[in-house]
Amino acid sequence: MEILNADQVPSAVTVEDFRKAVHLRPDQIQEDDVIALYLRAAQDVVLRATNHAAVPMTCRFTLPATDLRRWWLPVRPVRLITGLLAAPESGAATALDLSAVQLWRGGDEPQVTLPEGLVPAETRELILEAEIGYAAPAEAPAGLLQAIILITRDWFDEGVSPESKSAPQYLMGATRMIKQIRYRRPKICERG
């Protein structure tokens, strides 16, 4: 999954909400932009760990085009399919007719169905673009937002840099929360 509008993705948890949740006084940490960095990094970790998007974003998925009829997306919720390209072995990818593509159960078990004959025979892979995530953070499950807060607090307490290149760790509370809200697709695909 590639996030196409990463620089425009809103924060699921605001600095003010974080301060309230962990009972930080304004004088404890002067720089809100540092808290915002931690929150953004924790939001990305929660998205990758749970496959559950708390806020709206545009993503691209690449999948093999081998006689595919139904494909379960690896993330939820999916609000809208915005593009489908067929990429051949060589040459440019071509857009396919989106009116024939159907999104099923976008909120809980997102899957896309493709009609027979839609994908050209010479297609090596399909490139699907979709709008994912809840329209507003208030619509997201509370566990997602709480996991972001817990991870941010853990990193703060441990002095972990949000820009660290090593995989940041998070403590047991966030781990349990993530396990409870993780989305695992029931199948990957059905072939026609």
Average pLDDT (106-120) is 93
Predicted local distance difference test score (pLDDT) of residue 137: 92
Average pLDDT of span 159-164: 70
* 47: Cβ contacts below 8 Å, ≥ 6 apart: 53, 54, 75
* In contact, 62 and 73? CB cutoff 8 Å: no
Domain segments of the chain: what residues? 2-54+136-181, 57-135
Cβ neighbours around 8 below 10 Å, total: 10
What pLDDT, in 10s, does the model give residues 21-42? Answer: 988 766 666 688 888 999 999 9
Range of weakest confidence among 64-68, 87-91, 140-144, 160-164: 160-164
**CATH for 2-54+136-181?**
1.10.3230
Tens-place pLDDT, residues 122-135: 899 999 999 999 99
**Is-contact 13 44, C-beta < 8 A?**
no
